[in-house]
Amino acid sequence: MNFKNKRLISTVIVVVLVVFSLIKGTITSSNNNKKDESELNGYLTEFLQEQSITKLTLKKGDSSQVIQKISIEGEINAEMTNTYSRGSVLNQIKEAKNNPNVKAILLSVNSPGGGVYETAELYNALKNSGKDVYVAMKKQATSGGYYISMAAKKIYVNSETTTGSIGVIMSYVSAQKFLNEHGIKQETIRSGDQKAIGGIAEDLPESTRKIYQEQNKEAYDRFVKAIAEGRNMSEDEVKKLADGRTYSGKQAVENKLVDKIGTEDELINLIKEEKNLSNPSVIELRKDSSSESILSRLVKATTRSIISEFNSEASSTSVERSYLG
């Protein structure tokens, strides 16, 4: 049985399982809380991507001396976009971790940031990969894009790179005034003062604002700690730079947020020198978009449609959780 047939069979199996689970969930869980489309779709796409990964050899060399490139493009979140796929990136890190021939990870970062959870997840995966990580920042490596770079041994930037934006945001939209002006009022029965606070139909109480601010500060403190460890700075030194502003490549070097202005090729040469590699091969594992079948696209579209129906019937709050961006 060839590889394509195996992949097709695997895809059919997962389709059957997903459809069955969705039908079962519809019958037994009509009163469940809002379904998370991105999470479920993420599991599905992660499986499908495992079936369609291709290895690209960027530079031929000794197969026992491998530098594995991993590219981070776009927002770091749970959903698969045209530029970023959580499942694919985590799988690439896993492959590097389990491959004794991989001597270093070359992380190419071009990201404005992303969700706190997904960013921390990626940062921890890199830290725990057992491989030295070297970062080449591209056009943008801000907020969460800078956070994940703290797993690196060395960071190179372009002179035109924008980085920094160290901080955490939470957003909230209230339409209470508008609704009041139009004679619309929502009444919510709560088991506690802080239950289901943050709906669009009401202003955010000061007590709730303090709770969210504390959560925001916790995420910010973890960000600062990661930078202090990654850049060998004190937390006080980091906080002087961590007011949310962005930095050019030159400013980032001057403030010790990165190591040097240099190209990706120059960074590869540094890896060769530090790892004593005479003739390393540089590879990258990528999703083979040409092999993504019509069936897999249909399943993902169907999943989004079904979960959207769940979401339209479920209650939700309008407070956007902490976001690194």
**What CA–CA distance (Å, rounded) separates 68 from 106?**
6
pTM (global) more than 0.85: no
* Residue 300 falls in the annotated catalytic set: no
Residue carrying the six token digits 């920094």: 164
* Set 52, 111, 143, 281: catalytic member: 143
Model pLDDT, residue 291: 47
Model pLDDT, residue 253: 98
Model pLDDT, residue 313: 42
Query: In this structure, are residues 281 and 69 in contact, taking their beta carbons and an 8 Å threshold?
Result: no
Cβ neighbours, 10 Å, residue 58:
15
Q: Which residues contact 13 (CB under 8 A, 6 or more apart)?
A: none
Model pLDDT, residue 296: 52
Render 131-179 in DSSP notation, one character per residue: SEEEEEEEEEEETHHHHHHTT-SEEEE-TT-EEE----EEEE---HHHH
- Cα 240–Cα 172–Cα 322 angle in degrees, nearest 5: 45
Model pLDDT, residue 3: 44
Model pLDDT, residue 270: 98
Model pLDDT, residue 33: 45
Amino acid at 231: R
* Set 30, 195, 278, 289: catalytic member: 195
The distance in angstroms from the start CA to the end CA of the chain is 46
Model pLDDT, residue 316: 43
* Residue 250 falls in the annotated catalytic set: no
Q: Which of 78, 34, 117 is nearest to 322 (CA)?
A: 117
- From first to last of its 325 residues, the chain has per-residue pLDDT tens of 554 454 555 555 555 554 444 444 433 343 444 444 455 555 555 555 554 578 899 999 999 999 999 999 999 987 766 678 888 999 999 999 999 999 999 999 999 999 999 999 999 999 999 999 999 999 999 999 999 999 999 999 999 999 999 998 877 777 777 877 788 877 777 787 777 776 776 777 888 889 888 989 999 999 999 999 999 999 999 999 999 999 999 999 999 999 999 999 999 999 999 999 999 999 999 866 554 445 455 555 555 555 454 444 444 444 445 556 6
Instruction: Go through the domains of the chain in sequence order and give each one's CATH number.
Output: 1-52+289-317 (no CATH), 54-166+244-287 (3.90.226.10), 168-240 (no CATH)
Model pLDDT, residue 120: 96
**What CA–CA distance (Å, rounded) separates 253 from 267?**
15
Model pLDDT, residue 182: 81
